[in-house]
Structure 1
């Protein structure tokens, strides 16, 4: 069934809430076997006042569990949304798209932005080691100073500014020296005092030895990060066959797209980019594309991710930490990191891998028989088999949720942090992409000490990509390609990750670093072109640093 949404009173060009009528339309779609919603080109406004409200735990986001939702697609099947280039403009804290227990969802042809973004920005008008004078557009980014602290306001928020990301005013990318700056935090950062000025605001550091980045200079732009990351653009859970095409996402209050426990996802020409009418220094407030405990095939094709505030792509599982062994095959487990609360361990029949906390090597496998959620922090799982040798502090992950990944034809540039974070046991192919990121372009890691992001990688093939001056910020990467699972101990021969093949790529570098790798069985480096250019401070390091790598095969010319 095809439905023109204007038949339901959803029309462009009016600065009125669309959420209320949209709720009725989506309720109708849930009753139909197959539906296509057609939007007329134009601008649509979505406010949270009459939007659906649900309790949601979104992995890798700040904990703010009650969410208002514009497009609540929960329970929809065989649904297509055609935007025809329409602009969806969201107001205040609202989750644009939520898919839960959906099948065959196709969304295409939309632009997305927020009337008042969750971050603000400023330009450095004058710079000294311990003082910055900032120019701020008070109309776009309202603020005030109280008790020598700086606060920014929005349509429904008032948050203190305590950290920023500094961008090079000419290159439009994070500066090369200490781009993140933190202050007035309860647990760290410099002490700072603010005062209002005619052009904006002035910040002065208090205390001996405090200074701003040595790369701070007049004309650089500051992305002022004063809002929690709590509302992604798309949040998908427990669904199958999700497709997003021809999406222009100009801003989201969290990640652009995140999926959990979802099978088969295709993102094609999904661009995280600038609104051409506004040209802010930032796009999404966190990662670009993020996948947690997914399965099937994730296909990212011909996408652009630029100037978002974290990695373009991260794929991983979650390590649950065993708090107590209750009986044979029965364990009390906890979700440790504060941004992973409320995530379930899987479903009965899934394969569970039990992992040594020190080496991150598997101690055994079994199938999940049942589980019981106690609260957002703890659960009890029962396995079909008892695994010998487990101790409290060991961890487990869901190995049934290890998707294949193909990333092709994409551009990743000028964002904060790194490029693609690849921790999945599925087959990974990264081909025909362009990378210009300040950290490692490819990071294969995993840990059970801080983030608890799991996934011993299987086969990773990297071919025909361009790595253009990556890893110029050493805090975010030791080399353009980095393998670094965070283990406490190393086994004699067995390794956490399996095989990485790097073939026929072009590396444009300002120093000798190419690969930094440890705790992987095999690396193949073949047919790659290396070009040395100037442009960034030269960093120390070897072309190939390897530690606890069983086989390093260099077939390069």
Structure 2
């Protein structure tokens, strides 16, 4: 039996249909020049159904913060706190959002989408942007390194800034402003990519003055000054410049997103925490056509923290973000105290992981006891007692090792996904193209990558970020790498570099079973593969050409280098152009090296 109830509210219609006792609320929205936030909030509050479908007519929609729902939110790798949430979607059996090509424009400090404790989520055919970006951008007109100043011509357009009491403030939206320029980088103006040899800097000028010609003179002693003609972009104070991702999903399941584009966000583009089975097809993080900006998202384009099932990224495009294209990882937490033979207290290591849901009853975890970096005893959690955002207690089904001690690590075995990325372009961003940390099957194929740092990075780390863990089955094939590792610090196209604290064995094998085959690499010189502590890596049938005429920053760097590794195979690789050193291996790596000498 079908029953239809249509309710007209302002500029939208809610259609409620029932079929076999399962109700689905359908919300239809039309474009409006007015603030759509109260309209949407009222519509969502008007239903108790567990299945919801929101349909937008094609057009532009503006969302302001004034009437957004406010709630305290913990957001991994962002700033915890009160968030103004536009789409607050919690506890649904199904969520479908059809954009029909709609463009959402957000204003101020808002979290556009939070989808928590829900499943069967489909979002498609929409784009999001901000009217005023949360960055400052200026052209470098002159530099005086001796006197310690640079003259800049600020970009206006959609950017918003002011000079007050000798300081640049931005974006000055709804009472919010950054207190310093903060994290900054120079960009090549024509291509909108980070300048060759650039390094991250924290810009804290001593004084800024306005010149007669309308330029600003910024007084600040720097170790490295941006090139004249470059665009200098700043994103503000580190402790507040990651407000929220555009899309944040937590404790979700069965996510499908397609033709969804993020042009700007006050954090990451797409963030998933403890989410199972995710497919991103034809999604994007990149600048809108004709944009006067150089920055898309403030942080990663996509980030997957302790997810499981399978994660797929296909036929997508990520550009101009201020961190990685994709970061997929687990989490290490530290043993703080062993309370009894089945209970311990742990502590989060990084300030942006506080309040993170690390584990739940029924999860399997690995215990990693220093100095051994191997995943050791497996135990099952029977109870979790959250003390506060920094500390929690775990009770286990089986007895804990008697020698477990403070500083040992815990890694969640249950919440790791397999991963596939194919047909995707990632370029012109700060940091890496892809960062992967999962022991399950990983396939990276048929992509185009260009990145200022390493293009593909494997780095489990037991300090600072505390991002786990070691990879165990990786195939990297048929990709095109072009102009990588142009950062001011030495990197490689494929960079494998565990970062484990001093209490752990610095020579013990960590990552394993990596195949880097049939890839095309266009380079300006430098390292192609740089690996430490790998057990089993095959570098085969790759075509490398020094076809990019830019300065090589580290001319003595070898093409391939291996340290503390075993079972390394180099076979049928080709190099066109000049290089100084082909292969460097230490004694340990050389004992099992198989090198056919195709690059020598």
Bin the TM-score by the shorter chain: over 0.9
Higher radius of gyration, 1 or 2 = 2
Shift of 1:145: 3.1
Aligned to 1:378: 391
Aligned to 1:188: none
Within a 5 Å distance, the mapping from 1:128-527 to structure 2 comes to 128-129=144-145, 130-138=148-156, 140-156=158-174, 157-160=176-179, 161-184=181-204, 192-197=206-211, 198-206=213-221, 210-213=222-225, 216-226=226-236, 228-385=241-398, 386-475=400-489, 478-487=491-500, 488=502, 495-527=509-541
Separation (CA, whole Å) in 2 of partners of 1:270 and 1:41: 18
Separation (CA, whole Å) in 2 of partners of 1:343 and 1:48: 25
Worse overlay, 278-287 or 357-366? 357-366
Note the alpha carbon deviations across 1:344-368, whole angstroms, 9 max, x for none: 2211111111113444322311011
Aligned to 1:52: 69
Separation (CA, whole Å) in 1 of partners of 2:70 and 2:162: 31
Aligned to 2:569: 553
What secondary structure is seen at the aligned counterpart in 1 of 2:178? strand
Conserved? CA contact 1:136–1:199, under 8 Å: no
Larger RCO, structures 1/2 (Cα 8 Å, 6+ apart) = 1
Note the alpha carbon deviations across 1:52-94, whole angstroms, 9 max, x for none: 222111001133x111111111112222111111111111111
Shift of 1:536: 2.6
Note the alpha carbon deviations across 1:250-275, whole angstroms, 9 max, x for none: 00000001010000111111111111
Shift of 1:235: 0.4
Note the alpha carbon deviations across 1:255-298, whole angstroms, 9 max, x for none: 00101000011111111111114341110111110000000000
Separation (CA, whole Å) in 2 of partners of 1:405 and 1:274: 26
Shift of 1:211: 4.6
Shift of 1:491: 5.6
1:6 partnered with 2:12: yes
Note the alpha carbon deviations across 1:298-318, whole angstroms, 9 max, x for none: 000011000001111101111
Conserved? CA contact 2:31–2:57, under 8 Å: no
Conserved? CA contact 1:490–1:519, under 8 Å: no
The 1:408–1:356 alpha-carbon spacing in structure 2 relative to 1, beyond 3 Å, is same
Conserved? CA contact 1:466–1:507, under 8 Å: yes
What secondary structure is seen at the aligned counterpart in 2 of 1:20? helix
Conserved? CA contact 2:114–2:248, under 8 Å: yes
The 1:512–1:51 alpha-carbon spacing in structure 2 relative to 1, beyond 3 Å, is closer
The 1:492–1:455 alpha-carbon spacing in structure 2 relative to 1, beyond 3 Å, is closer
Within a 5 Å distance, the mapping from 1:76-155 to structure 2 comes to 76-129=92-145, 130-138=148-156, 140-155=158-173
Separation (CA, whole Å) in 2 of partners of 1:2 and 1:246: 31
Unaligned residue ranges in structure 2 (runs of 5+): 15-26, 574-600
Conserved? CA contact 1:494–1:521, under 8 Å: no
The 1:506–1:85 alpha-carbon spacing in structure 2 relative to 1, beyond 3 Å, is same
Separation (CA, whole Å) in 1 of partners of 2:363 and 2:283: 31
Separation (CA, whole Å) in 1 of partners of 2:435 and 2:491: 14
Conserved? CA contact 2:134–2:171, under 8 Å: no
Unaligned residue ranges in structure 1 (runs of 5+): 185-190
Aligned to 2:598: none
Shift of 1:533: 2.0
The 1:375–1:200 alpha-carbon spacing in structure 2 relative to 1, beyond 3 Å, is farther
Note the alpha carbon deviations across 1:5-62, whole angstroms, 9 max, x for none: 83259755533221222123234565054x4322111111111222122211100113
Separation (CA, whole Å) in 2 of partners of 1:494 and 1:224: 40
TM-score between the two structures when normalised by the length of structure 1: 0.93
- Count of residue correspondences: 543
The 1:223–1:202 alpha-carbon spacing in structure 2 relative to 1, beyond 3 Å, is same
C-alpha root-mean-square deviation of aligned residues, in Å?
2.2
1:22 to 27, 32, 40: 40
